[in-house]
């Protein structure tokens, strides 16, 4: 039975780290409208469980290969909420582009998690793909910011971006700081996640 029949949202937890996985089980089971219907650290087993248990929402961390998300969406027709546990910019891009319905970034409280699960289960997508949300973007990115962002998405360092874009490392760092300010985030990982989520940049997958 799925949530339409029981009134509860059936959640599958797919997390590599044992301690984090157990913590999520306790958090999810602590809500009366949620039920943990499966727990695994394996992407292959996740697909099998999603099919068998008629899962509503899959919680998956970014250590699990992003291809698992694509398979879950295509073969099990479930909604997927990805969890940031120290992701690199390129990993976030892959997660969002392979079909995740939401991306929950650090720092996130249990309340953020509950809200995200309910919204993904009900609406099929998490607003802006990530929470907590930052302030509204008043202007789109300029050409230099987009150029630097494209390389950040690939995980390039400041020195590498400078060489690729024919800029000085100082200019690159200034541009990165401008991106943080404009997107209301604090690090490079969040720059990429928020820009992609807001449609300001769409990375290409190989």
User: How does pLDDT run across 107-117, given as a tens digit for each residue?
Assistant: 678 888 998 89
**92 and 147 share a domain?**
no
**24 and 87 share a domain?**
yes
Rounded distance between C-alpha atoms, residue 50 and residue 4, angstroms:
16
Q: Vertex 24, ends 21 and 28: CA angle to 5°?
A: 145
DSSP state of 76: I
Q: How is residue 198 written in tokens? A: 């807001």
**106 and 176 share a domain?**
no
Boundaries of domain holding 182: 143-197
**22 and 100 share a domain?**
yes
**166 and 106 share a domain?**
no
Instruction: Give a yes or no: residue 7 inside a domain.
Output: yes
Provide the whole-model pTM: 0.66
- Is residue 36 within a helix (H) or strand (E), and if so which, with residue range? strand 34-40
What's residue 206's pLDDT? 40
| Domain count for the chain | 2
Is 168 a residue whose pLDDT tops 90?
A: yes
198 prior amide bond cis, ω within 30: no
User: How does pLDDT run across 169-187, given as a tens digit for each residue?
Assistant: 999 999 999 998 888 888 8
User: How does pLDDT run across 43-93, given as a tens digit for each residue?
Assistant: 899 999 998 998 999 999 888 887 888 899 888 889 999 887 666 666 666
């Amino acid at each position: 039975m799925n949530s339409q029949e029981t009134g509860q949202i059936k959640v599958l937890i797919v997390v590599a780290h044992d301690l984090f996985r157990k913590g999520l089980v306790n958090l999810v089971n602590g809500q009366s409208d949620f039920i943990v219907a499966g727990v695994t650290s394996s992407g292959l087993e996740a697909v099998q469980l999603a099919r068998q248990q008629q899962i509503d929402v899959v919680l998956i961390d970014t250590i699990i290969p992003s291809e698992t998300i694509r398979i879950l969406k295509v073969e099990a027709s479930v909604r997927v909420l990805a969890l940031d546990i120290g992701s690199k910019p390129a990993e976030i891009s892959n997660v969002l582009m392979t079909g995740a319905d939401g991306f929950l970034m650090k720092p996130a409280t249990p309340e953020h998690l509950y809200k995200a699960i309910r919204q993904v289960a009900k609406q099929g997508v998490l607003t802006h793909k990530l929470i907590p949300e930052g302030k509204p973007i008043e202007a789109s990115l300029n050409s230099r910011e987009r150029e630097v962002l494209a390389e950040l998405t690939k995980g390039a360092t400041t020195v590498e971006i400078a060489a690729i874009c024919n800029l000085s490392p100082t200019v690159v760092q200034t541009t990165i700081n401008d991106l943080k300010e404009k997107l209301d985030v604090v690090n490079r990982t969040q720059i990429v996640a928020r820009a992609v989520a807001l449609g300001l940049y769409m990375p290409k997958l190989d």
